[in-house]
Structure 1
Amino acid sequence: MRAEGVSVALTGASGIQYGLRLIQCLARAGEPVHVLASAAARHVAALEIDTELPREAEALTAALEAHLGLGAGALSAYAEDQWTAPLASGSGAPRRMAICPCTTGTLAAVAGGHSDSLIERAADVVLKERGRLVVVPRETPLSTIHLEHMLSLARMGATVLPASPGFYHRPAAVGDLVDFVVARALDHLEVAHGLGPQWGGSGPG
């Protein structure tokens, strides 16, 4: 049976705050959330938010729920090599996935159809099943090869959503900039939220 909800992969690009906030918002919206974290993402978490993310699935689930203020059972986390996870099969994976933040290495692997980790395999499954894949690269400047990989994924139907916050909403804190990008990701995952007004409106978007 296909898993419900949304898969979120955290990779080693700077900006793990984007991915963690996305997970938190999805869980609070009542979406079952399936989480993957690469070894590089765990390293970035220690550098950027002084948080140790365990490798083991159960420990990672508990650590993320505690860090994000979520109740037990809000998330399901998987190890990078947990090939028995539902995310590895077209018959079991959710039809929606975000890689947030997305390294250029992960971008290249997914665009090339590689499946050397569960993150890459999960993204490949979403693409082949004609699901909704959102990749949030956080890199600057971009080389020609980065742009070519983004173009390839866009042609496959993925949404390439760079972590490039706007300023027209007059952000007062770093969290406002994070929420700007997360709101756009939620829009493309078709999840309702109240992270800020839509352009031209005054209500939550």
Structure 2
Amino acid sequence: MNPAAKASTPARMVVGISGASGVIYGVRVLDALKEMGVESHLVISRAALLTLSQETDLTPDDVTQRASVVHKIGDVGATIASGSFRTMGMIIAPCSVRTMSEIATGVTSTLLTRAADVVLKERRPLVLMVRETPLHLGHLRTMTALAEMGAVIAPPLPALYARPESVEQIIDQSVGRALDLFGLDWHAVRRWEGLK
């Protein structure tokens, strides 16, 4: 990539929230981007709104108000559906197996997976915080295919070396480490400082 082109890329990121458990990861991504002054373009699936009601006390408005721009899941004419709309890339947090599988096949049925497909074809970072366990061979093969296409598979796993004192700290550490992959340094990350 031309360094000048990279330098002129706007501080703008696409955020996808799918219906997997862990919707709070996507919410915290939006919070982090807002704190860092990065424009966020949110697309949230219908299943994610159901998960939101089951896992949190947040309303859909509580989530969408955190984003700079909100795109409807069925709006395939949205800016984020085109490669000419420059972004830093896309993070899907959490990423369901269904979403992951659609992206891997290139047969996209919603703006969420279309935007991810665009990010891949434009060779921009795509980070998938996949939430599923245990994984069967089909899941693993799908992840391998996505990694070969350039996606980063980044399941949200607890970094116990950071000595988290709350669930919130565990979540924020995972979110911050995922944002590291875009060159973003969020204050909530506890960095490893070596053995003392």
Q: Do they superpose with TM above 0.5? A: yes
Partner of 1:10: 17
Task: Give secondary structure in 1 for the equivalent of 2:161.
Answer: coil
Partner of 2:85: 92
For 1:4 and 1:87, the matched residues in 2 are separated by 14
1:196 Cα deviation from its structure 2 partner? 2.8
- Out of 166, 172, 175, the residue aligned to residue 182 of structure 1 is 175
Partner residue of 1:146? Answer: 139
2:180 maps to 1:173: no
Letter of the 1:101 counterpart: P
List runs of 5+ in structure 2 lacking aligned partners: 1-8
The C-alpha deviation readout for 1:9-52, integer Å capped at 9, x for no partner, is 00011011111101110111000000010000000000011233
Secondary structure of the residue that 1:130 maps to in structure 2? coil
Query: 1:171 is paired with a residue of what secondary structure?
Result: coil
* d(CA) in 2 for partners of 1:193, 1:166: 16
In structure 1, how many angstroms separate the alpha carbons of the residues matched to 2:192 and 2:141? 30
- Relative to 1, partners in 2 of residues 1:120 and 1:3: Cα closer, same or farther, differing over 3 Å? farther
Contact 2:20–2:131 under 8 Å retained in 1: yes
**TM superposition shift of 1:191:** 1.0
1:160-179 CA deviation, whole Å, 9 max, x = no partner? 10111121111111101101
Please tell me the residue identity of whatever aligns with 2:63.
L
Give CA deviations for 1:72-96 in whole Å, capped at 9, x if unaligned.
xx51011101122110111115241
Identity of aligned residues (%): 37
Are 1:133 and 2:140 counterparts? no
Partner SS, residue 162 of structure 2:
coil
1:40 maps to 2:47: yes
Deviation at 1:109, TM superposition (A): 0.4
More deviation, 86-95/126-135? 86-95
Unaligned runs of 5+ in 1: 54-59, 69-73
TM-score (normalizing by structure 1): 0.86
Which ranges of 4 or more aligned residues in structure 1 deviate by more than 4 Å? none
- Distance, in Å, in 2 between the alignment partners of 1:165 and 1:38 is 25
Aligned residue identity for 1:168: Y
